[in-house]
A and B are shown apart, each in its own frame.
Chain A
């Protein structure tokens, strides 16, 4: 390239402390900072739903399909229940479902990917072919298979979403593990006398920690969407319990008269997914500030290279 770009100097000193890294990430990653703030709000809404919601989410508190007003800030639903209270309580249910199913997918998927990537070729083949079979069913379909087997319900949704993301987690961990495997320091650890599992735990996993954290925090958004889809289709929580996906679905029949019944829970789902996407990025830039710096540097290089050639 004809354009000479000055090497980026990393301010190493400031990154030694967690505080310095958080400050750095907050200054250079404003969407991440904003997302973190909204995520905190979401969690507060979920935890404090009993305190924050003005009404009982399952009680009929007014006339049906009342537009947003001072008394009902987000209007009432098809039966006359308060949409705001239902959305706040729904946050609780949705976030718990998303966190549990993400935990399930990571507890099973991440070790599978690591083991398949690092252990013998034979093991790798068996595990990855099994993953390929599961991946032949697009996410929602795999979840619906689980629903067929277990029958609809709250636990089913957690298991179904967890199972659907397990092969994806496995696949995403497999690649990086595979490439780390060939590094000299892994061979060195083996020579020193580390067993295979110890190498995996002490040498491979720490290197992939950033990947795992980013994966898990972004996955909250994916699992939220899939869980909401299952609830939307009517395979999750039973009415009258509040749930974003189910409430959205229930509002469709009133779309012409009362748009807010469907629009509000839908917006809540969208915000959760958006936040989760940026949150992963933000956490990554705290754990590994160099990564943020590099990505910024790369964008700058690209921009300079392009304008330089033009």
Chain B
């Protein structure tokens, strides 16, 4: 297992390096001189631009600049926001909890809805719950989460008035954002788990364990789910990335001061260091989560462990 974790972590290193190169390249790829972009609208003279060039090391070769950038990253320095003049690290740190709580709550919604529906639909395929679950999952994928958010606000906040729309104080304020964001993913979990269970129950070993006299619940827990959940787990890892990205629109609608709304604001204000910082942090979280999920996958499914260890 230790070998597996090490190998998997080693695979993440080139990806992470690539991520830093791409994030570094954002400033280089913007048409025009970076220093000029930074001083945009300040009416700076060419001499001032040249001075900032030197100050930021922008007159050096790009490769050298990249290594300087990488060196700063390793010390946790993401630069300064042009707008607030605070360090990007502190700006992100103050907003990260809002995004993480939203993403976590949305994942919880997806799992709490998706797992029971998936199990029932898988065990009784073709039944009423299965038909319903299939319908829900098709709609879940098709309905844009930001539109769902609006429909939920209409019903629960405007018509019924039982849940708050704005604010971050109470846990109740997290309900609507989390449901809007997580709902679509519950559909995917339902479908994967259902198909996984149906496939697992077709295998001969299920018949053997039944012949051995295992009860329905034990069968489901020990053999059915263990086989069915592997593919679900790896997809949940991928979905966390999409939940993080989806928080951009959801935070904008619900006025949550998280990373997503900060990103939108930074793009609008051309605050490039903040954009670079947020994008980098989200990609890091995403790569990290997928690493953890792959390890979990290997813990559940010994075949994965063996395939890599060989």
Contacts and interface: CB of A to CB of B under 8 A. Distances in A.
Contact of A262 (B14, B150, B210): B150
A303 B130 CA distance: 12
Interface string B238-274: 0001101110110011000000000110011000100
Contact of B158 (A147, A225, A255): A255
Interface of B: 14-16, 18-19, 21-22, 26, 29-30, 125-126, 138-139, 141-144, 146-147, 150-151, 153-154, 158, 198, 201-202, 204, 206-207, 210, 241-242, 244-246, 248-249, 252-253, 263-264, 267-268, 272, 275, 279, 282-283, 286-287
Q: Which of B19, B151, B267 has the most CB atoms of chain A within a 10 A radius of its CB? A: B267
Chain A interface helix/strand/loop/mixed: helix
Contacts of A133: 15, 18-19, 21-22
B267 A235 contact: yes
Contacts, number: 139
A186 B4 CA distance: 34
29 contacts: A1-B207, A129-B18, A132-B14, A134-B22, A136-B15, A136-B16, A136-B287, A137-B282, A137-B286, A138-B241, A141-B245, A141-B282, A144-B263, A145-B22, A145-B275, A147-B267, A148-B272, A229-B248, A233-B249, A248-B147, A255-B158, A262-B147, A263-B151, A266-B146, A269-B144, A270-B147, A273-B142, A277-B138, A303-B126
Contact of B204 (A1, A144, A251): A1
B202 A1 contact: yes
Contact of B125 (A252, A262, A303): A303
A133 B283 CA distance: 9
A221 interface: yes
A256 B165 CA distance: 12
A149 B25 CA distance: 10
Given A1-B204, A138-B244, A274 B146 contact: no
A225 B144 contact: yes
Given A136-B286, A255-B158, A306-B201, A248 B18 contact: no
